A = this chain, B = another copy of it.
Amino acid sequence: MAVRAAVAGASGYAGGELLRLLLAHPEVEIGALTGASNAGQRLGALQPHLLPLADRVLEPTTPEALAGHDVVFLALPHGESAAVAEQLGDEVLVIDMGADFRLKDAADWEAFYGSPHAGTWPYGLPELPGARAALEGSKRVAVPGCYPTAVSLALFPAYVAGLAEPEAVVVAASGTSGAGKSPKPHLLGSEVMGSMTPYGVGGGHRHTPEMIQNLSAAAGERVTVSFTPTLAPMPRGILATCTVKAKQPGVTAESVRAAYEKAFADEPFVRLLPEGQWPATASVYGSNAVQVQVAYDAAAGRIIAISAIDNLTKGTAGGAVQSMNLALGLDEATGLTTIGVAP
């Protein structure tokens, strides 16, 4: 089998990571690479770590350039995917790494993104209840946001097991690549090294409704999420610290752990760590693995679930490849690894 894949938006961080993974995928042949302002440039100048593709030149993102592939990945700015996808036809597998097709509620989309809602595609987080089946054979995939990936995986087992009150409090630290490659003063190395700083505080981050959607589905009731993202001085990685009040009485450290063991028992990429060991973003650097640990704080009456992912891999491009594998009927783990690059 040779799956021919095109990548629209190959010059950014999501596109670069996707190409890194596709180069290692045994069933994929890399086809067209397109860009917007970078069209016409050598990839070697834009993504110097992708040596085997150094002499490839970016084309403009047009239907013609993207035609004739089995899979088209869209790594475009939010709001631009729908127009491109329409032109690709129903038979090509389209995997959107942007936000356009993640939300089910049009009002949520409009409130947070300020444009008309494009629709809803099968959601590329196979570990969520029911998600895997919806991806198998699908021709459309909406890849989750990086924070919702980390947070949903950390908390859904508590909600599925009925252990948690429907008010989640999440504080997550992200590496700077999550903010993209467009140069802005606050993302300069001089500014971010040595600094931790929050942003989008108070419910304004666009990933909030996506978390609410996932956790509410798991809980069977409306869950609120107080979400505070912070920017950490590292290029990659998300550490999500998620706490929920336990539904009393009856929740114990043992019942919490049992719920998490059950949720992840057969998952190829999610590892519930042995008790006493805690997730670290360095351990999943460059991998599709998710490290999860959970504790029950009896004094505070809260469950604390913590996950670590690589925001560019499992949080974006790895999740996209994992979903592609399912959509194409390949083994879900093809071309992906759970081995991080550390130290």
Is A84 engaged at the interface, CB distance under 8 Å to the other chain? no
Asked whether B51 lies within 8 Å of A338 as measured between CB atoms, the reply is: yes
Please give the distance in Å from A197's CB to the nearest CB on chain B.
Answer: 4
One digit per residue, 1 when the CB lies within 8 angstroms of any chain B CB and 0 when it does not, for chain A 235-257 equals 11101010101000000000000
Asked whether A49 lies within 8 Å of B283 as measured between CB atoms, the reply is: yes
- List residues of A (248-305) whose CB comes within 8 Å of B's CBs: 271, 273-274, 277-287, 289, 291, 293, 295-302, 304
| Distance, CA A341 to CA B237, complexed state (A) | 13
A24-B339, A302-B169 known; A285 vs B194 contact (CB < 8 Å): yes
Q: Count of A residues near B, CB < 8 Å? A: 92
Q: Which residues of B contact A338 (CB under 8 A)?
A: 51-52
Asked whether A202 lies within 8 Å of B24 as measured between CB atoms, the reply is: no
One digit per residue, 1 when the CB lies within 8 angstroms of any chain B CB and 0 when it does not, for chain A 36-78 equals 0000000011011111101000000000000000000000000
A175-B190, A193-B193 known; A224 vs B282 contact (CB < 8 Å): no
Q: Write the residues of chain A forming the contact surface with B, with a CB cutoff of 8 angstroms.
A: 13, 16, 20, 23-24, 44-45, 47-52, 54, 167, 169, 171, 173, 175-177, 179, 181, 183-185, 187-199, 201-203, 224-226, 228, 230, 232-237, 239, 241, 243, 245, 271, 273-274, 277-287, 289, 291, 293, 295-302, 304, 306, 308, 337-343
7 smallest A-B Cβ distances: which pairs? A195-B282, A49-B340, A202-B295, A189-B192, A183-B183, A171-B171, A197-B280
